[in-house]
Amino acid sequence: MGSYVDVKDGDFQAQVLDSDLPVLVDFWAPWCGPCRAIAPHVEALAGEYEGRVTVAKVNVDQNQQYATQYGVRGIPALLVFKGGQLVNQINGLPPGNPMKGLRDLVDSALA
C-alpha cells in the first residue's frame, strides 16, 4: 500500500492546486460503501505512482468547499489536477478492472 495525503479545505490550494506533480484527489466519506470499496485501489495506486503523482483524499463530510467548487455531486469522485487545473475525472468505481481504470485516469495527466 502506498501513502496518500489527507487534504482539508484549508490546505487544498497548497497540496493540490499548487503541486508540482499531478494530483489524484479522491472525494469520499466514511459512510460510503463504494468509497470503502475503491480505497484499497487508490492506496495501491499511491504506491505505484509514488514520486510521479500525489494521491490525496478529501473527506466531504468535513471539507465541502472544493467538492462544491468542482461540482462533486456523488462519491466517490476521483479528480485529477495538473498545474492547478482539473484535467480528468470519474465518478464511482471504474467499470471492469478498477486498477486499470485508475491508471488510465492518472496516465492521462502524465502524457
For the beta carbon of residue 91, count every other beta carbon within 10 angstroms.
15
Q: 16 with 60: CB under 8 angstroms? A: no
Alpha carbons 90 and 111: distance in angstroms, whole number: 18
Catalytic residue flag (residue 20):
no
Catalytic residue flag (residue 40):
no
Annotated catalytic residue within 16, 23, 25, 35: 35
Which residues, including other chains, have CB under 8 Å from residue 56's CB and lie 6 or more apart? Answer: 4, 5, 6, 7, 15, 16, 23, 24, 25, 26
Annotated catalytic residue within 29, 32, 39, 90: 32
Positions annotated as catalytic residues are: 32, 35
